[in-house]
Structure 1
């Protein structure tokens, strides 16, 4: 399970190092192979261990193509998907198309969300977190939680 948020840097070539905390887990879970794609609702990037991506890909492909929102989700998730492998130093090269999509520059935030990660520009991450405080409605599923 991936959790927590980590401030990381991307170099001028678009490479970023996965925090050491996750490298061993990723090596065990997927031999360092991940799939990176665009988030459909936020300007950030999703990172999936390859086996997790293989589990959800058929569900994405099964979405109804006559529904415009579903077709857009397919185009975003599958169209931007890029298979990557950690190099010997635990780095990955973020594809230019995804860097542009999410506005990724030097300062990034890698956020663990259970079975996947989100990769944000640091400024967009902090703006998104601040914006969450202004939401009034909680989904029904949240109302039954006791924290």
Structure 2
């Protein structure tokens, strides 16, 4: 389970290093093989351990293509999906198309989201968490949650 957030840097070649605490978990979960793709709602990147991606891939492929919202989600999730492998130093190259999609520059924020990560530009991350004006109602599952 991935949780917490870490400020990390991307080098001039577009490589980022996965922090050691997550690198070990990724190594045991998937041998360092990951899939990066576009988030459908936010300008960030989703990073899945390969086995997790393989579990949700059939669900994405099964979405109805005559529904415009579902087709858009397929185009983003499948169209941007890139299988990658961490190198021996725990680094991975973020593909240029995904860097452009998420407006990534040198300063990044890696956020653990349970079974996956989100990768944000640091600026976009702080803007997102500062945005307290949420237009949507909380789902019923949240209303019954005690923290």
Give the TM bin, normalised by the shorter chain: over 0.9
Q: Residues of 1 paired with 2:134 and 2:52: CA distance?
A: 30
Show the counterpart of 1:135.
134
Work out the CA distance in 2 between the residues paired with 1:63 and 1:138: 24
1:93 aligns with 2:98: no
Give yes or no for the alignment of 1:83 onto 2:98: no
Q: Extract unaligned runs of 5+ from structure 2.
A: none
TM-score (norm 1): 0.98
Q: CA deviation at 1:47?
A: 0.1
Report the Cα offset of residue 110 of structure 1.
0.2
CA distance in 1, matches of 2:134, 2:58: 32
* Partners of 1:56 and 1:121 in 2: CA distance: 25
Segments of 5+ residues of structure 1 without an aligned counterpart are: none
Query: What's the CA shift for 1:9?
Result: 0.1
Q: What is the CA–CA distance in structure 2 between the aligned matches of 1:36 and 1:145, rounded to whole Å?
A: 30
SS of the equivalent of 2:146 reads coil
Counterpart of 1:26 in 2: which secondary structure?
helix
1:30-78 CA-to-partner distances (Å, cap 9, x unmatched) read 0000000000000000000000000000000000001011011000000
Superposition TM-score, scaled by structure 2 size: 0.98
In structure 2, how many angstroms separate the alpha carbons of the residues matched to 1:60 and 1:139?
22
Count of aligned pairs: 146
Structure-1 separation of matches of 2:31 and 2:8: 22
Backbone CA RMSD of aligned residues:
0.7
Q: 4+ residue runs of structure 1 moved beyond 2 angstroms?
A: none
